[in-house]
C-alpha cells in the first residue's frame, strides 16, 4: 500500500488533471470488471488458497462494528469491515480505503470524500454515501453504545455530515480539526441491513448483530465474509470474492480461502497450540522471546523483534483534595516528591527482571513506537537514589535515625500502593517499586485489588493513595484528552476539575485545545512536544517501561512484514507460499 500514497495525494490535490497526465502510462492502470479503480496492494504477488489459523483469548462480544470496543471483537470484525480511510502499516500515513480520494477546504473545516465506485456489500448491494451517513446517524443516536461520538465531537460540537451525491460525503467541523483523518476510519455499516433495527430504537440497535445473530447475516465490505461462530470455540471467515483490492498483477485479493480464529482460554494455551503447529500466529510475551528465537528453525516460524507497544504502565499518586487530605495530599502534590520517586525507581531492574530485556525505560506519555509524536528530549529520570534523597531533602523531608522518612512536620511517609490483582507483570513491578521506595525510608504497603474495585476508586470514590496501572494508547495524542485535560474523567490524579488546580495543568489544557484546532501536523507536533516536556517535568504519572512486541509467524505464510499493528494486519495480502493444508 506504500505505493499508493503519492497517487492518492496527487488525486486529492490535482483532481482530474492526473488522469490526463501521461506520467502514469509506464504502469498500466489496473481495473476489475465491477470496480473501475481498485485499490492496488503494495505487497508481493501471492497465490490463492489456504486457511490461516490464529487464536484469541476471549470470545467476541458483539458483531456490531461501531459498538465493539475490545480487541476480541474488533480484530475479527476488521476482517469483514473497512472504513473510508486506513492507516498505512509501515509509514503510518492515512490512505484511502472505501474512499478513493478526498479534499479539504481552505479553512480546514470542510472535508469531501469520494467513494470508490463499484464496491459492494457481501450480499451484492453497492456501498454508497447513504451507508456512511447511516453509520454516523446510528453512532450519534442517543443510547447506542458506541464511543464514536466521543472521537467525533470537536470543541463540544458533533461533526456535521451529509450526502452530496451517491458517492460523495461531506463532513464539516466546528473548528479546523487536526486529527480529523485519524478519526474518520470507522467501520462503515450497511444501511439496507440495519435501518430497521435503528428505527426501533437504540437498545434494539445495540442488540442487533450480536453474537447470537447468525454470522451469515453480518454483511460487511471487507476482505472476508463471516461464515460461522461457535461460542467458546471459533469464528470462521471465507474469502470475499468481490473485494475491491488487487495485487500488482491486477489479481483480486484476498488470497486466503479461509480464516479461523480459535478461542483459547489463555496465552499458555495459545502458545502450546502455536508450538504444536495447530496455529500460524502467536503474540509471544517478552520473556518468551529468547526461547522462541532458538526454536525458530525447528518450529518453522520467525519471531520478529517487534516495535514497542503503544500502551503504558505507570505509578500515579492521588492529588485530589476530594479524595485524600492532610500530609499525604501535601506530599503527593509536591512535584519534588514525585520527581524523587521517579529517580528512585530502578527501571533497568524492571526491564531485566520483569521483561527479560524486552522493554525500554519510559519517561514520556507518548510511546517511542509513535515515531511522529514522540519527543525524545524530555527530562529523564535515571536510577539515582542519591539524587532522589537530595530532592526529598529540598522538599523538606528527612530520614531519621530509625531509617524512616519524615516530612517537615515529622509525619512518617507511609502509604498504600494498589494495582489490579491477577496482572502478574504489574504485581512484579509493584514489588520492585516497593523495594526501591523502602530504600528511601518510605513505608509502602503494596496491596493488589480486583480491577473493578480499583477503577471504582479511581473514577468514583477517589479514595486511594497510590496506584500502579496502565492505559492503552494510539497514534493520535488527541485521543488521550480524557486523561490529560483537567476536566477529564481519567485525569487520574485529580479528575473532573472545574478549573485547573495548577498552572501546568492549565497549560496542558491549552496545548490540547490548540493542537486540536490545527491542521498543520508539524505545528501540532511542536505543541505535543511541549505537553510531553511538562509531563516529564511534573511527573503526575511516573512511567516505567515500554515493552516490545514479539509476534511469531509461521514461515509458510507470505507477505509478512512487521509494521504498525503487528505482522498480519494486511490480512488481504497474506498467502501460503507452500502448498497449503
Partner 1 sequence: MLRHIARRLLHLIPMLLGITLISFAIIQLSPGDFLAEARMNPVVSSETVDRMRVSFGLDQPLHIQYLRWFWNALRLDFGYSFAFQVPVIWLIGSRLMNSVLLNLVSFAVAWAIAIPLGIHAARRQYTLSDNVLSFSAYLGISTPTFFSGLFLLYLAFRTGWFPIGGMTSIDHDFLPWWGKILDVAHHMVLPVLVLGVLSVAGLMRQMRANLLEVLRQDYVRTARSKGLAERVVINKHVVRNAINPLITIFGFSLGGLLGGSAILENVMGWPGIGKLIVEATIQKDLYVVMASLVLGSVTLVAGNLIADVLLVVSDPRIRYD
Q: How many Å apart are CA 500 and CA 508, to the nearest integer?
A: 10
- The distance of closest approach from Cβ of residue 132 to partner 1 in the complex, given in angstroms and rounded to an integer, is 21
| Residue 318 CB, nearest approach to partner 1 (Å) | 16
Among candidate residues 160, 163, 159, 210, the one with its CA nearest the CA of residue 191: 163
Q: Cβ closer to partner 1: 83 or 441?
A: 83
Minimum distance between the CB of residue 573 and partner 1, rounded to whole angstroms? 22
φ/ψ (deg, to 5) at 112 = -120, 125
Least Å distance between CB 213 and partner 1?
9
Q: Between 234 and 287, whose beta carbon lies closer to partner 1?
A: 234
Q: Cell numbers of 79, please?
A: 476482517
CB of 468 to partner 1, least distance (A): 13
Which residues, other chains included, contact 282 with Cβ-Cβ below 8 Å and sequence gap of 6+?
55, 270, 271, 273, 274, 551, 552
Q: Which three cell numbers stand for residue 510?
A: 491549552
- Angle, helix 335-344 to helix 424-439, in steps of 10 degrees: 110
In this structure, are residues 63 and 218 in contact, taking their beta carbons and an 8 Å threshold? yes
Closer Cβ to partner 1, 441 or 473, answer by number: 473
- Give me the least distance between CB of 62 and partner 1, in Å please: 6
Nine cell digits for residue 51:
486457511
Give the residue from 181, 257, 241, 190 showing the smallest Cα distance to 35: 241
Distance CA 100, CA 94 (A): 12
DSSP state of 461: I
The position carrying cell 490524579 is 493
Contact 33, 184 (CB under 8 A): no
Residues that bind partner 1 (CB under 8 A): 51, 53, 58, 61-62, 67, 69-70, 142-143, 145, 147, 149-151, 202-203, 206-207, 210-212, 228, 230-234, 236, 260, 262-266, 268-269, 272-273, 275-276, 278, 450-459, 461, 469, 471-473, 479-480, 482-483, 489-490, 496
Smallest separation (angstroms) from partner 1 to the CB of 489:
4
Q: Going by DSSP bridges, is the β-strand pair 258-263/51-56 parallel, antiparallel, or unpaired?
A: parallel
- Indicate the length of the chain as a whole number: 581
Strand 312-317 to 541-543 pairing: antiparallel
Minimum distance, C-beta of residue 359 to partner 1, in the bound complex (Å): 21
Quick one: residue 561, left, alpha or beta (phi over 0 = left, psi -120 to 50 = alpha)?
Answer: beta
Amino acid at each position: 500500500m506504500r505505493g499508493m500514497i503519492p497517487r492518492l495525494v496527487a488525486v486529492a490535490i490535482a483532481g482530474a488533471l492526473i488522469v490526463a497526465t501521461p506520467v502514469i502510462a509506464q504502469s498500466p492502470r489496473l481495473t476489475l470488471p465491477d470496480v473501475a479503480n481498485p485499490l492496488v496492494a503494495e505487497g508481493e504477488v501471492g497465490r490463492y488458497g489456504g486457511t490461516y489459523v490464529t487464536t484469541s483469548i476471549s470470545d467476541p462480544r458483539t458483531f456490531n462494528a461501531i459498538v465493539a470496543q475490545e480487541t476480541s471483537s474488533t480484530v475479527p470484525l476488521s476482517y469483514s469491515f473497512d472504513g473510508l480511510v486506513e492507516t498505512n502499516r509501515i509509514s503510518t500515513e492515512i490512505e484511502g480505503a472505501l474512499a478513493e480520494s478526498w479534499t479539504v477546504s481552505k479553512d480546514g473545516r470542510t472535508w469531501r470524500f469520494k467513494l470508490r465506485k463499484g464496491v459492494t456489500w457481501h450480499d451484492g448491494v453497492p456501498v454508497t454515501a447513504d451507508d456512511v451517513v447511516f453509520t454516523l446517524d446510528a453512532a450519534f443516536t442517543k443510547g447506542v453504545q458506541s464511543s464514536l461520538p466521543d472521537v467525533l465531537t470537536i470543541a463540544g460540537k458533533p461533526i456535521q455530515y451529509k450526502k452530496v451525491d451517491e458517492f460523495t460525503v461531506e463532513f464539516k467541523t466546528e473548528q479546523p480539526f487536526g486529527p480529523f483523518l485519524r478519526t474518520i476510519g470507522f467501520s462503515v455499516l450497511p444501511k439496507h441491513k440495519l435501518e430497521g433495527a435503528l428505527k426501533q430504537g437504540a437498545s434494539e440497535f445495540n442488540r442487533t448483530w450480536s453474537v447470537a445473530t447468525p454470522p451469515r447475516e453480518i454483511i460487511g465490505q471487507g476482505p472476508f465474509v463471516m461464515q460461522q461462530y461457535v461460542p467458546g470455540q471459533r469464528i470462521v471467515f471465507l474469502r470475499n470474492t468481490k473485494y475491491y483490492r488487487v495485487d500488482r498483477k491486477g489479481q483480486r485479493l484476498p488470497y486466503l480461502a479461509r480464516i479461523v480464529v480459535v478461542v483459547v482460554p489463555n496465552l499458555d494455551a495459545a502458545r502450546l497450540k502455536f508450538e504444536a503447529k495447530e496455529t500460524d500466529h502467536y503474540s509471544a510475551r517478552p520473556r518468551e522471546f529468547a526461547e522462541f528465537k532458538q526454536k525458530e528453525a525447528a518450529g518453522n516460524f520467525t519471531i520478529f523483534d517487534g516495535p514497542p507497544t503503544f500502551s503504558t504502565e505507570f505509578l500515579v499518586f492521588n492529588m485530589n483534595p476530594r479524595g485524600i487530605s492532610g500530609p499525604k495530599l501535601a506530599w503527593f502534590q509536591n512535584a519534588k516528591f514525585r520527581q524523587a520517586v521517579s529517580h528512585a525507581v530502578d527501571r533497568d531492574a524492571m526491564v531485566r527482571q520483569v521483561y527479560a530485556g524486552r522493554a525500554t525505560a519510559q519517561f514520556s506519555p507518548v510511546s517511542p513506537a509513535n515515531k511522529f509524536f514522540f519527543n525524545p528530549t524530555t527530562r529523564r529520570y535515571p536510577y539515582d537514589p542519591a539524587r532522589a534523597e537530595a530532592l526529598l531533602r529540598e522538599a523538606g523531608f528527612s530520614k531519621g535515625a530509625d531509617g524512616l522518612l519524615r516530612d517537615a512536620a515529622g509525619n512518617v511517609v507511609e502509604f498504600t500502593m494498589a494495582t489490579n490483582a491477577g496482572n502478574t507483570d504489574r504485581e512484579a513491578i509493584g514489588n520492585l517499586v516497593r523495594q526501591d521506595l523502602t530504600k528511601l525510608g518510605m513505608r509502602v504497603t503494596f496491596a493488589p485489588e480486583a480491577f473493578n474495585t480499583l477503577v471504582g476508586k479511581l473514577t468514583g470514590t477517589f479514595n486511594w493513595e497510590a496506584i500502579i496501572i496502565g492505559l492503552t494508547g494510539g497514534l493520535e495524542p488527541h485521543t488521550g484528552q480524557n486523561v490529560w485535560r483537567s476536566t477529564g474523567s481519567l485525569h487520574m490524579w485529580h479528575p473532573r476539575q472545574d478549573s485547573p488546580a495548577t498552572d501546568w495543568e492549565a497549560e496542558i489544557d491549552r496545548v490540547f485545545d490548540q493542537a486540536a484546532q490545527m491542521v498543520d501536523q508539524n505545528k501540532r507536533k511542536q505543541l505535543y512536544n511541549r505537553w510531553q516536556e511538562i509531563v516529564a517535568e511534573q511527573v503526575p504519572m511516573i512511567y516505567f517501561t515500554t515493552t516490545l512486541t514479539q509476534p511469531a509467524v509461521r514461515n509458510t505464510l507470505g507477505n509478512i512484514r512487521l509494521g504498525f499493528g503487528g505482522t498480519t494486519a494486511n490480512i488481504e495480502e497474506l498467502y501460503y507460499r507452500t502448498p497449503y493444508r
